Structure 1
Amino acid sequence: MMQYNVKVDAFEGPLDLLLHLINKYEVDIYDIPVSQITDQYLTFVHTMQELELDIASEYLVMAATLLAIKSKMLLPQKEEEMLEQDPEFEEDPRDELVQRLVEYRRFKEAANDLKKKESSRSLLYARPPADISEFSTEDDQTSIGDVTLYDMLAAFQKMSRRVKDKKPKRTTVQSEEIPIEDRMNAIRYQLQGGHKKRFSDLFSEADRGHMIVTFLAVLELMKTRDVACEQDQNFGEIMIFEREGKASV
Structure 2
Amino acid sequence: MLESYSVSVEGFEGPLDLLLHLINRYEIDIYNIPVAKISEQYMQYIHTMQQLELNIASEYLVMAATLLAIKSAMLLPNQEIEADDNYEGEDPRDELIARLIEYRKYKEAAQTLQELEGEEKESFTRPPQKWTEDKKLVSKPKKGAVTVYDMLSAMQNVFDRKKWNRPMTTTIEKIEIPIKQRMEEVLSQIETAKQGIPFDQLFPYPSKSHMVITFMAVLELMKDKLIFCEQERTFDSLIIHRWRG
The TM-score, its normalising length taken from structure 1, stands at 0.83
Report the counterpart of residue 134 of structure 1 in structure 2: none
- Contact kept? 1:5, 1:53, Cα under 8 Å: yes
**% identity of equivalent residues:** 51
Report the counterpart of residue 138 of structure 1 in structure 2: none
Give the deviation of 1:227 after TM superposition. Answer: 1.1
Give the deviation of 1:194 after TM superposition. Answer: 5.8
Give the deviation of 1:150 after TM superposition. Answer: 0.8
Paired with 2:193 and 2:167, the residues of 1 have a C-alpha distance of 36
- Contact kept? 1:6, 1:52, Cα under 8 Å: no
Report the counterpart of residue 119 of structure 1 in structure 2: 118
Report the counterpart of residue 167 of structure 2 in structure 1: 168
Report the counterpart of residue 134 of structure 2 in structure 1: none
Paired with 1:238 and 1:124, the residues of 2 have a C-alpha distance of 31
Larger CA deviation: 165-174 vs 63-72: 165-174
Paired with 2:237 and 2:108, the residues of 1 have a C-alpha distance of 28
Question: Secondary structure, in 3 states, of the residue corresponding to 1:89?
Answer: coil
Paired with 1:223 and 1:120, the residues of 2 have a C-alpha distance of 22
- Contact kept? 1:47, 1:157, Cα under 8 Å: yes
For 1:76-155, what aligned pairs fall within 5 Å after superposition? Answer: 76-77=77-78, 79=79, 81-82=80-81, 87-122=86-121, 144-155=143-154
Larger CA deviation: 49-58 vs 217-226: 49-58
Residues 177-224 of structure 1, C-alpha deviations (whole Å, 9 max, x = no match)? 221222111111112256321111111112222111111111111111
Aligned AA (1:191)? I
Aligned AA (1:182)? Q
1:227 has 2:218 as partner: no
- Contact kept? 1:7, 1:54, Cα under 8 Å: no
Give the deviation of 1:53 after TM superposition. Answer: 1.9
Paired with 2:10 and 2:3, the residues of 1 have a C-alpha distance of 23
Question: Secondary structure, in 3 states, of the residue corresponding to 1:241?
Answer: strand
Paired with 1:209 and 1:87, the residues of 2 have a C-alpha distance of 57
Paired with 2:198 and 2:87, the residues of 1 have a C-alpha distance of 53
Question: Secondary structure, in 3 states, of the residue corresponding to 2:155?
Answer: helix
1:15 has 2:16 as partner: yes
Q: Unpaired segments of 5 or more residues in structure 1?
A: 131-142
Q: Deviation above 6 Å: which 4+ runs of structure 1?
A: none
Aligned AA (1:33)? P
Paired with 2:84 and 2:170, the residues of 1 have a C-alpha distance of 59
Aligned AA (1:108)? K
Cα distance 1:83–1:199, how it changes in 2: closer, same or farther (>3 A)? closer
- Contact kept? 2:81, 2:89, Cα under 8 Å: no
Paired with 2:60 and 2:243, the residues of 1 have a C-alpha distance of 32
- Contact kept? 2:205, 2:211, Cα under 8 Å: yes
For 1:17-96, what aligned pairs fall within 5 Å after superposition? Answer: 17-77=18-78, 79=79, 81-82=80-81, 87-96=86-95
Aligned residue pairs total: 230
Report the counterpart of residue 213 of structure 1 in structure 2: 213
Give the deviation of 1:82 after TM superposition. Answer: 4.2
Question: Secondary structure, in 3 states, of the residue corresponding to 2:87?
Answer: helix
1:239 has 2:239 as partner: yes
Paired with 2:200 and 2:118, the residues of 1 have a C-alpha distance of 35
Give the deviation of 1:129 after TM superposition. Answer: 6.0
Paired with 2:220 and 2:160, the residues of 1 have a C-alpha distance of 23
Question: Secondary structure, in 3 states, of the residue corresponding to 1:169?
Answer: coil
Cα distance 1:119–1:145, how it changes in 2: closer, same or farther (>3 A)? closer
Paired with 2:193 and 2:165, the residues of 1 have a C-alpha distance of 32
Q: Unpaired segments of 5 or more residues in structure 2?
A: 128-141
Question: Secondary structure, in 3 states, of the residue corresponding to 2:92?
Answer: coil
Give the deviation of 1:84 after TM superposition. Answer: 6.5
